[in-house]
């Protein structure tokens, strides 16, 4: 990789992450502008993305983002559900503005709108799904960085990062690598230390998966309490076993005056007179 300094070269772990997340698997169709990023075509028609060029564009995008003084001037956008969580996490960790969900028309061009913004740079997860944001950015001369698949249109895109943006793991990993590289270039994170933020936090999760995890977390303490209560009840019962015998003996002794009550009742009644 002669295009970037040696310190910015990827490690073996970074390449393994990209391959395990299937970030190199493109679509069956190829846009003419994405041909330089295609390594080869498989027999089943899937185009393989060159991972080396993916890393080069990631580093280039990170250097552009790190050059902006105010992190709030960077706007990260994702209309697709797969990239919404990654966009929000990226905004939290780097200080950028995260726009997850539908992009409201006029956010960059109509100053009357409530969510009007004037960013200096935008990063989108999919040029096709986020075409409205890219179109408005072109009207006001805002540079655009986009994660692009092999069939993604590159109109008005200044820096294209070749990546499988249709996979939730690949798009999450892409934003995680970009955020880590930005923090390293800013000096917040050292290259000799590993980032303590797990890449799993950038992955999209279904609502059902979140509910199952929450139920599992809430059920574990209750199960332990039930076991403790049953064990405590058994121990108390064993401890009081001798008391039951003692109380039975007391009841037997206290039953003797019952005969006296019967005799007194017969003596005081007037039926025998």
Q: What is the pLDDT along the chain (273 residues), one digit of tens a residue?
A: 556 677 678 888 889 999 988 889 988 888 889 999 999 898 888 999 999 999 999 999 999 999 999 999 999 999 988 888 999 999 999 999 999 888 989 999 988 888 889 999 999 999 999 999 999 999 999 999 999 999 899 999 999 999 998 888 999 999 999 999 999 999 888 888 888 888 888 888 776 666 666 667 777 654 455 455 445 555 555 455 555 444 444 544 545 455 555 555 544 545 544
CA distances from 127 to 23, 31, 75, 91, 97 (A): 17, 12, 15, 19, 18
Predicted pLDDT of residue 12: 87
Predicted pLDDT of residue 138: 94
Q: What is the DSSP letter of 100?
A: E
Predicted pLDDT of residue 2: 53
Predicted pLDDT of residue 205: 76
Helical (H) or strand (E) element with 124: strand 121-124
Give the C-alpha separation, 119 to 147, whole Å. Answer: 19
Predicted pLDDT of residue 231: 53
């Amino acid at each position: 990789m002669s295009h970037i300094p040696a310190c910015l070269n990827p490690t073996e772990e970074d390449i393994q992450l990209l391959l395990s997340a299937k970030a190199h698997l493109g679509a069956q169709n190829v846009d003419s502008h994405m041909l330089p990023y295609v390594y080869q075509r498989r027999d089943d028609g899937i185009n393989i993305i060159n991972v080396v060029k993916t890393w080069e564009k990631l580093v280039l995008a990170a250097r552009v983002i790190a050059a902006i003084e105010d992190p709030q001037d960077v706007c990260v956008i994702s209309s697709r559900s797969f990239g919404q969580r990654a966009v929000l996490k990226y905004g939290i960790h780097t200080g950028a503005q995260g726009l997850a969900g539908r992009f409201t028309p006029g956010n960059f061009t109509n100053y009357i709108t409530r969510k009007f913004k004037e960013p200096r740079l935008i990063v989108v997860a999919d040029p096709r799904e986020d075409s409205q944001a890219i179109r408005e950015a072109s009207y006001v001369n805002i540079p655009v960085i986009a994660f692009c698949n092999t069939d993604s249109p590159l109109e008005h895109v200044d820096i294209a990062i070749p990546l499988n943006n249709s996979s939730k793991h690949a798009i999450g990993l892409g934003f995680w690598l970009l955020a880590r590289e930005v923090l390293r270039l800013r000096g917040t994170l050292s290259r000799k230390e590993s980032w303590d933020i797990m890449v799993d936090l950038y992955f999209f999760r279904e609502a059902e998966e979140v509910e199952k995890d929450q139920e599992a977390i809430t059920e574990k303490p209750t199960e332990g309490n039930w076991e403790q209560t049953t064990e405590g009840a058994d121990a108390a019962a064993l401890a009081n076993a001798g008391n039951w015998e003692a109380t039975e003996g007391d009841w037997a002794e206290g039953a003797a005056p019952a005969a006296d009550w019967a005799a007194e009742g017969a003596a005081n009644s007037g039926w025998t007179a």
